[in-house]
């Protein structure tokens, strides 16, 4: 059995099919670990969602910020954005089934010495803490408080994780850490507005995985979300978002031999002109 990590698909179903063919994926024996953001911005979010759901136990996906945004738009507590490509899902005859499946996906997954998340971990979190905090949000997503949680999910505050956080502030900070974070300060303050490559962030902030003394330093972490990052060169983290929807590549990595990526080229379904950042 081979386990492959796969970066953010964002509705680029054709590229996903090409990548899986290139991997010689055998769904009876192999597994695919998706870093989240299965949907949005690409042309075939509906087909992507149906395909990954149809893989059953052969696939694991964590929730990304675009997946959570779909849940919020579907629930009627958020409005679609100009560049969203979610209409086909919202109009699909199997919408309820797909949405119910999606909201029962984890925010973090750990197995075989690897931790899978969409974005990152605050410096104070080790892998055990990440799993516990993810479970708090997962429980609410699967409960009758689902709509209330999604209504209060958006926002950048609180920017720093503290164990004593409670209620919506605690849940929002967990969501932002696991699905939106790229940069933070040594004391854990997140800089959620900065989306560019390292070197473009404000002074005092660093890529989350380069904070000295972070509690998760010995944990091998697979993540996506950061298409401008590139390969990190850090042995304990693997960034797999290679900008598929922006005309980059869709990439996979065998967790049995994490020394090289397998990639396919993608069409530029979204433009990065006019100074726009290639990330939400």
Q: Over the stretch 149-197, which tens digit does the pLDDT of each residue have?
A: 999 999 999 999 999 999 999 999 999 999 999 999 999 999 999 999 9
Backbone φ, ψ for residue 48 (5° rounding): -65, -45
Question: Per the structure block, which two tokens stand in for 161?
Answer: 């994780």
Q: Over the stretch 239-264, which tens digit does the pLDDT of each residue have?
A: 999 999 999 999 999 998 766 789 99
Q: Over the stretch 24-53, which tens digit does the pLDDT of each residue have?
A: 999 999 999 999 999 999 999 999 999 999
The structural domains of the chain, with segments of one domain joined by +, span 3-265
Identify which of 170, 166, 133 has the alpha carbon closest to the alpha carbon of residue 153. 170
How far apart are alpha carbons 182 and 206 in whole angstroms?
A: 8
Query: How much is the CA Rg of the chain, to the nearest whole Å?
Result: 17
How far apart are alpha carbons 168 and 78 in whole angstroms?
A: 16
Burial 57-75 (b: 16+ CB within 10 A, else e): eebbbbbbbbbbbbbbbbb
Q: Over the stretch 204-223, which tens digit does the pLDDT of each residue have?
A: 999 999 999 999 998 999 99
Indicate the CATH number of 3-265 among 3.30.230.10, 3.40.190.10, 3.40.50.2020, 3.60.21.10.
3.60.21.10
Prediction pTM value:
0.94
């Amino acid at each position: 059995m081979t386990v492959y990590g796969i970066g953010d698909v964002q509705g680029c179903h054709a590229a996903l099919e090409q990548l899986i063919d290139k991997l010689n994926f055998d769904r009876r024996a192999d597994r695919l670990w998706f870093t989240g953001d299965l949907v949005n911005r690409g042309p075939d979010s509906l087909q992507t969602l149906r395909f990954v759901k149809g893989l059953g136990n052969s696939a694991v996906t964590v929730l990304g910020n675009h997946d959570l945004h779909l849940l919020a738009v579907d629930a009627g507590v958020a409005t679609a954005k100009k560049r969203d490509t979610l209409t086909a899902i919202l109009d699909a005859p199997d919408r309820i089934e797909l949405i119910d499946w999606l909201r029962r996906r984890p925010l973090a997954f750990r197995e075989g010495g690897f931790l899978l998340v969409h974005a990152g971990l605050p410096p104070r979190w080790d892998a055990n803490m990440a799993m516990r905090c993810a479970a708090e949000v997962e429980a609410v997503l699967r409960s009758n408080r689902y709509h209330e949680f999604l209504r209060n999910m958006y926002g950048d505050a609180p920017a720093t994780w503290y164990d004593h956080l409670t209620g919506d502030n605690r849940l929002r900070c967990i969501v932002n850490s696991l699905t939106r974070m790229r940069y933070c300060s040594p004391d854990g303050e997140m800089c959620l507005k900065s989306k560019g490559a390292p070197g473009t962030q404000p002074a005092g902030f660093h890529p989350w995985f380069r904070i000295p003394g972070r509690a998760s330093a010995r944990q091998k972490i697979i993540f996506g979300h950061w298409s401008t990052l590139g390969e990190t060169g850090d042995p304990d983290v693997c960034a797999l978002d290679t900008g598929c929807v922006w005309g980059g590549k869709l990439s996979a990595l065998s967790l049995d031999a994490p020394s090289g990526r397998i990639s396919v080229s993608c069409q530029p379904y979204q433009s990065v002109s006019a100074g726009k950042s290639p990330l939400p």
